[in-house]
């Protein structure tokens, strides 16, 4: 069974970090309702969800994806790039410890899990404002013995690598090529987002289904036409904090 770790939204959510979007008022209650919908969708897709309590003083802590890189062999606890987010990893390491072998990134490396795309034994790390070359070097050092190679990849105009490209299945990626060079993924079948929906490249595959925001209806239609079973989950209030579907969970296959 797939285990998913999530965390309730902090009461200070509205003080979140923002990099590429303007701050607009966040309705905390609405965000919480949407987050509950997300957790329910994971449960309906037969995930065993471990819900961590809110971190009252860590505004972005609902975005648990950024705190760890989970592989079948080991979980790497990250050092998130934003200082306000570094303390988020402590409770995540505690939650993961009974489930998987854990290793930790060390200073001066910084990496957000949202920048990490695992495709087989190749791990792509977005060279964003959050993740640095030291992280790539450390990951190569730590994960080489498990057969992984870790590569940095340029991106622009978006927060994380997984804002621009995510995995639909072993052969297929969903991509916004305005934010990343599609030639980096020549060996994959690429599905391009609808250009009117720039934030649509972030999807979360769970089993045979794809969790995806209903706001991106044109891209959603493309996915359905390609035969994907799309389960929609509204995260529009979380998007005001620059979050999307992958960032609200850590998935342990
Ligand atoms: C941040 O800027 O760190 C948060 N406001 C949003 C993080 C979203 N995380 C993700 O997509 N993996």
* Ligand 1 close to Cβ of residue 80 (< 6 A): no
The sheet with strand 189-192 has its strands ordered as 165-169, 172-175, 189-192
* Ligand 1 close to Cβ of residue 82 (< 6 A): yes
Q: Residues 197-250: pLDDT tens digits?
A: 999 999 999 999 999 999 999 999 999 999 999 999 999 999 999 999 999 999
Average pLDDT for residues 81-89, to the nearest whole number? Answer: 98
* Ligand 1 close to Cβ of residue 247 (< 6 A): yes
Nearest 10 degrees: Cα torsion 232, 75, 77, 96: 80
Pairing of strands 165-169, 172-175: antiparallel
* Ligand 1 close to Cβ of residue 241 (< 6 A): yes
193 token code pair: 């987002």
Alpha carbon nearest to ligand 1 atom 7, residue: 243
Burial of 29 (0-12, 13-18, 19+ CB in 10 A): exposed
Judged against a pLDDT cut of 90, whether residue 74 lies above it is answered with yes
CA distance 54 to 8: 5
* Ligand 1 close to Cβ of residue 167 (< 6 A): no
The number of the ligand 1 atom at minimal distance from the alpha carbon of 113 is 12
Alpha carbon nearest to ligand 1 atom 9, residue: 247
Expressed in angstroms, the distance from the first to the final Cα of the chain is 7
Which pLDDT value is given to residue 253?
A: 86
CA of 64 to the centre of ligand 1 (A): 9
Domain extent, residue 32, equals: 3-252
The number of the ligand 1 atom at minimal distance from the alpha carbon of 82 is 3
Total count of domains within the chain: 1
Residue 55's pLDDT band (cuts 50, 70, 90): very high
Q: Domain of 47: which CATH number?
A: 3.75.10.10
Nearest CA among 181, 199, 203 for reference residue 248:
203
The number of the ligand 1 atom at minimal distance from the alpha carbon of 115 is 12
CA of 18 to the centre of ligand 1 (A): 8
CA of 247 to the centre of ligand 1 (A): 7
Average pLDDT for residues 8-20, to the nearest whole number? Answer: 98
Q: Residues 91-131: pLDDT tens digits?
A: 999 999 999 999 999 999 999 999 999 999 999 999 999 99
Q: Residues 149-206: pLDDT tens digits?
A: 999 999 999 999 999 999 999 999 999 999 999 999 999 999 999 999 999 999 999 9
Nearest CA among 167, 168, 171, 134 for reference residue 150:
134
CA distances from 60 to 13, 20, 82, 128, 225 (A): 6, 15, 10, 18, 35
Point out the residues that are catalytic: 160, 247
Judged against a pLDDT cut of 90, whether residue 1 lies above it is answered with no
């Amino acid at each position: 069974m797939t285990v998913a770790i999530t965390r309730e939204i902090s009461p200070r959510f509205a003080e979140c970090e923002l990099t590429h979007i303007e701050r607009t008022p966040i309705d905390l209650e609405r965000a919480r309702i949407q987050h509950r919908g997300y957790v329910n969708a994971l449960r309906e897709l037969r995930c065993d969800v471990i819900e961590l309590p809110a971190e009252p003083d860590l505004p972005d802590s609902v975005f648990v994806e950024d705190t760890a890189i989970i592989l079948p062999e080991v979980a790497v606890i990250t050092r998130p790039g934003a200082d306000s987010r570094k303390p988020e990893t402590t409770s995540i390491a505690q939650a993961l410890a009974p489930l998987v072998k854990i290793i930790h990134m060390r200073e001066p490396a910084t990496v957000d899990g949202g920048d990490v795309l695992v495709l087989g034994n190749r791990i792509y790390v977005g060279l964003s404002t959050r993740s640095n070359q030291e992280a790539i070097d450390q990951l190569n050092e730590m994960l080489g013995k498990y057969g992984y190679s870790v590569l940095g990849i340029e991106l622009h105009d978006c927060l994380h690598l997984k804002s621009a490209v995510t995995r639909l299945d072993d052969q297929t990626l969903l991509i916004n090529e305005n934010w990343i060079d599609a030639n980096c993924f020549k060996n994959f079948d690429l599905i391009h987002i609808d250009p009117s929906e720039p934030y649509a490249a972030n999807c979360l595959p769970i089993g045979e289904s794809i969790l995806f925001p209903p706001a991106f209806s044109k891209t959603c239609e493309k996915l359905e036409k390609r035969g994907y079973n799309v389960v929609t989950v509204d995260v529009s209030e979380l998007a005001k904090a620059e979050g999307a579907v992958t960032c609200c969970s850590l998935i342990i296959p």
